[in-house]
Amino acid sequence: MTKNNKYALVTGSSKGFGKLLALELSRRKINVILVALPGENIEETAAECKQYGVDTQTYEADLTNRDELLKMTTWVNDNFNINILINNAGTGGTQTFHKSDLQYIENLIQINVTATSIITHQLLPNLLKQEQSYILNVSSMASFSPIGYKTVYSATKRYIQHFSRALCHELKDTSVFVSVVLPGPMKTNSEITKRINKQGILGKLGLITPERAARVSIRRLFKKRPYILVGRRNYINKFLLALLPPKIRMHLMTKAAKREVS
């Protein structure tokens, strides 16, 4: 391992949107550190990244475990110069709140909120040492409204949106630029595809391919866009959501989400 080269760290990069973000960085000849849960075949993603001629490191960790999370950030800080951090790891789902398993609720908060905050906190000194650095946090269009049956998920994604915008402002006079991407629905796996299809027309209004979302996200990150929406329809959706009274907006989005649990 060397401290001479800079790296991008991507959490949740074994599959889905995180994998595509890592591949997009690799195409741009950026070395990557791929972080994923144990047993998710992260080496397969690493092999694809290496095909672009970049140095690729992997680290398996359960980000709900504070000790593992801190071991990972210590290892990174001790061995690499980080100039890009992408907090993509996250979890979702649609459930009736009082019927949800407590572990499900805890995992949502620990991964979406706690891990994102701690990783950013621990790696920020490393990022600040670089001439130019970037942080990209992955939120969701679900962050624009409270949503029943996605009660905790929508709240955690709202946290990520506010956390990112505030940190961007706090760091505006430093070398670190912070952006947040708010993707619409993406068919990244069979389970998510099934949930999107159950929502009906509301679930498909802002549908985009994860490949396009990854490509646009990285391009706009480097253009220093603090707030990234992907796809013209999602700009329209955001505008229409803003026009609706909050009670009606929440009713419509909850009604669509309820179809996923029926």
12 phi-psi bin (left φ>0, alpha ψ -120 to 50, beta other): left
> What is the predicted pLDDT for the residue at 144?
86
Q: Is residue 168 part of a domain?
A: yes
User: Could you give the CA distance from residue 84 to residue 87 in angstroms, rounded to a whole number?
Assistant: 10
On whether residue 128 sits in a domain, the answer given is yes
pLDDT on residue 249: 82
Distance CA 12, CA 37 (A): 7
Distance between CA atoms of residues 185 and 254, nearest Å: 15
pLDDT at 234: 67
pLDDT in tens, the chain (262 residues): 334 489 999 999 999 999 999 999 999 999 999 999 999 999 999 999 999 999 999 999 999 999 999 999 999 999 999 999 999 999 888 899 999 999 999 999 999 999 999 999 999 999 999 999 999 999 998 888 889 999 999 999 999 999 999 999 999 999 999 999 998 765 455 555 454 455 555 555 555 788 999 999 999 999 999 999 987 666 566 767 777 888 888 888 788 888 887 6
Q: Considering the domain boundaries, does residue 224 fall inside one? A: yes
Residue 197 lies in a domain: no
For residue 23, being part of any structural domain is answered with yes
Query: How many domains in the chain?
Result: 1
Q: What is the largest CA-CA distance in the chain?
A: 55
Q: Which pLDDT score is estimated for 92? A: 87
Is 182 within the bounds of a domain? Answer: yes
Residue 35 counted as domain residue? yes
**CB-hemisphere CA count at 13 Å for 209?**
4
pTM above 0.85, yes or no: yes
> 115 lies in a domain?
yes
* Segments forming the whole domain that contains residue 67: 6-189+208-231
CATH number at residue 40: 3.40.50.720
The reported pLDDT for the residue numbered 14 is 96
State the pLDDT at residue 255. Answer: 85
